[in-house]
């Protein structure tokens, strides 16, 4: 046959001569032929293998040919069956066809007659098979499309950003669970006008396109407070969706959760406010004194004048310190600090700082003790930062200490950390103060701290330095007894085989 497929034919006939003869005839023409000598064998063969065509004798001793055909068609409904019979009549013909035969061929038949019928039958079979193939392909493609669509849906439903699409009439056509959540809707009805149910800012973003019905490719964004008090903020962006012909099909809105960002923004602006307040205060104080000096209606004694000049100096000193501390913080914030990591000799650093504070230490008669464990692993860090750390802690330990008090500086190690501790016998902290201790500009204020000056940034800087090394800070304090600051700095793995001997 034409397309290279070798048609398979089944002959079911009890007449041996006819069976063998027809088989030989057909095989000669390139068909593949199998035979069965009775009905039951025919059924067995025909239901276990799919034949393209079957020639079935009508009258067989064991079972009716039509029965055989019925059984075969049950399993292979697309088989083309020819009923062959010597008892030709209209009735038999109609009967056969009624039960599913393609045609019937009266016996005896000539080879030409046989081939003609076979050819017709085979064409029919080919058509059937082709139709089947197309149907299968179509189903597969539909499945693919459905799969793609559900894959797309899955993706859309998985993104955290809220997605809402409306058509050019403002009716909702697509949305995802995040959109429902962000907009606080229980449901969105598809093809329902939704614009007036939306937050006015979001409605406005959409209306920018709906009102002009133009599709110039541009987007609009707004920060929208969906829940008051900064509890939930989104950045909503609307973009036009175009039809193939360039007209407006609809608008897509994407909502991104920026609540965290807003919180940080708020904290930063609060910080800026606090900074400007802290900077203005000493300036106002000095300015105020100058105004007193220049006010002709006010008489100041020499003592007052000297006092005010002194106070002005003190305030400006404080201002300068504050500015330097702020610069330190801003550098750390911008991470423009390049750490110069090298081996640190803690004893040298601490000794130098204690030297620096000699006057204050002597004034209050404070005893300073430095202790360190026998075998200490080496600390690798930036010298300036560690120096700053100790300066701030020791300065506080002196400032807030009692007269005749003491300061203990203890260096030890545990596991993967080196532990730096600064302990004092100072006025200590109340629980409320402890929680705010590392906040910028926080300074404990009570009767005992009246005369203690400071920028309120020292501990904030200590915390930033410790954080930058991924270290830990621990504070223990008892009001009126004393305070201990413990810093845990991680040692770099593998580098710390050399060990420092304990210093004096």
Give the residues lining the site for another protein (CB under 8 A): 270, 273-274, 276-277, 280-281, 284-285, 287-289, 291-292, 295, 297-298, 300, 304, 308, 311, 315, 445-446, 450
Number of neighbouring beta carbons within 10 Å of residue 334: 8
Query: What values do phi and psi take at 189, rounded to 5?
Result: -90, 125
Q: How many residues does the chain have?
A: 504
Nearer to another protein, 309 or 502 (CB): 309
Nearer to another protein, 199 or 315 (CB): 315
Nearer to another protein, 246 or 288 (CB): 288
User: Measuring CA to CA, which residue among 325, 318, 401, 330 is closest to residue 366?
Assistant: 401
Residue that has been written with the tokens 């009890």 in this structure: 14
Nearer to another protein, 446 or 480 (CB): 446
Nearer to another protein, 133 or 445 (CB): 445
- Residue 1 in tokens: 């046959």
Burial of 392 (0-12, 13-18, 19+ CB in 10 A): buried
Q: Give the shortest CB-311-to-another protein separation in angstroms.
A: 6
User: Measuring CA to CA, which residue among 244, 176, 166 is closest to residue 210?
Assistant: 166
Nearer to another protein, 5 or 277 (CB): 277
Q: Give the shortest CB-401-to-another protein separation in angstroms.
A: 22
The CA distance from 221 to 235, in Å, is 7
Nearer to another protein, 133 or 291 (CB): 291
Is residue 201 within 8 Å of residue 192, measured between CB atoms?
no
Q: Give the shortest CB-431-to-another protein separation in angstroms.
A: 16
Provide the angle, in degrees to the nearest 10, between the axes of the packed helices 39-48 and 65-75.
10
Q: Give the shortest CB-321-to-another protein separation in angstroms.
A: 16
Q: Give the shortest CB-276-to-another protein separation in angstroms.
A: 8
DSSP-derived letter for residue 193 is B
The CA distance from 30 to 26, in Å, is 7
Nearer to another protein, 157 or 307 (CB): 307
Nearer to another protein, 98 or 450 (CB): 450
Q: Give the shortest CB-244-to-another protein separation in angstroms.
A: 51
Distances in whole angstroms, Cα of residue 76 to Cα of each of 54, 432, 440: 11, 88, 86
The CA distance from 282 to 262, in Å, is 31
Q: Give the shortest CB-284-to-another protein separation in angstroms.
A: 5
Query: What values do phi and psi take at 485, rounded to 5?
Result: -110, 125
The CA distance from 355 to 235, in Å, is 55
Query: What values do phi and psi take at 408, rounded to 5?
Result: -115, 125
CA angle 245, 247, 251 (to 5 degrees): 125
Q: Give the shortest CB-290-to-another protein separation in angstroms.
A: 10
Q: Give the shortest CB-334-to-another protein separation in angstroms.
A: 23
């Amino acid at each position: 046959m034409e397309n290279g497929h070798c048609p398979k034919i089944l002959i079911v006939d009890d007449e041996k001569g006819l069976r063998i003869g027809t088989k030989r005839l057909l095989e000669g023409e390139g068909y593949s032929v199998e035979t069965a000598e009775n009905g039951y064998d025919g059924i067995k063969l025909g239901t276990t293998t799919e034949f393209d065509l079957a020639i079935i004798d009508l009258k067989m001793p064991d079972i009716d040919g039509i029965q055989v055909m019925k059984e075969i068609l049950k399993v292979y409904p697309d088989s083309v069956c020819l009923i062959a019979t010597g008892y030709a009549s209209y009735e038999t013909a109609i009967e056969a066809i009624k039960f599913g035969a393609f045609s019937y061929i009266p016996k005896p038949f000539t080879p030409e007659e046989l081939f003609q019928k076979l050819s017709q039958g085979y064409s029919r079979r080919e058509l059937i098979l082709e139709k089947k193939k197309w149907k299968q392909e179509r189903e597969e493609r539909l499945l693919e499309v459905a799969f793609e669509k559900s894959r797309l849906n899955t993706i859309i439903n998985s993104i955290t950003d809220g997605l809402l699409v409306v058509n050019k009439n403002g009716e909702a056509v697509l949305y995802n669970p995040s959109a429902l959540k962000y907009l606080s809707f229980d449901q969105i009805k598809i093809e329902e006008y939704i614009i007036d149910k939306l937050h006015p800012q979001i409605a406005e973003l959409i209306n920018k396109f709906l009102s002009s019905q133009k599709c110039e490719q541009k987007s609009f964004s707004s920060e929208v407070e969906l829940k008051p008090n900064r509890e939930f903020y989104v950045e909503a962006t609307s973009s036009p969706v175009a039809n193939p012909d360039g007209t407006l099909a609809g608008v897509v809105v994407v909502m991104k959760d920026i609540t965290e960002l807003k919180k940080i923004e708020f904290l930063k602006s609060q910080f800026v406010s606090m900074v400007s307040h802290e900077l203005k205060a000493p300036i106002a104080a000095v300015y105020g004194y100058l105004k007193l000096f220049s006010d002709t209606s006010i008489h100041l004694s020499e003592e007052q004048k000297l006092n005010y000049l002194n106070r002005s100096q003190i305030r400006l000193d404080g201002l300068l310190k504050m500015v330097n501390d702020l610069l330190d913080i801003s550098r750390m914030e911008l991470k423009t600090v390049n750490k110069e990591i090298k081996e640190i000799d803690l004893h040298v650093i601490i000794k130098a700082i204690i030297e620096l504070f000699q006057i204050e230490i002597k004034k209050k008669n404070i005893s300073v003790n430095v202790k360190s464990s026998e075998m200490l692993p080496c600390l690798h860090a930036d010298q300036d930062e560690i120096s700053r750390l100790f300066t701030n802690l020791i300065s506080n330990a002196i400032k807030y200490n009692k007269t005749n008090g003491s300061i203990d500086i203890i260096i030890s190690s545990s596991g993967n950390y080196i532990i730096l501790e600064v302990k004092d016998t100072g006025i200590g902290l109340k629980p409320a103060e402890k929680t705010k201790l590392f906040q910028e500009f926080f300074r404990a204020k009570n009767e005992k701290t009246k005369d203690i000056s400071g920028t309120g940034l020292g501990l904030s800087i200590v915390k930033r330095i410790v954080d930058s090394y991924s270290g830990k800070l621990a504070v223990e304090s008892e009001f009126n007894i004393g305070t201990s600051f413990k810093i845990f700095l991680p040692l770099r793995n593998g580098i710390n085989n050399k060990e420092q001997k304990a210093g004096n």
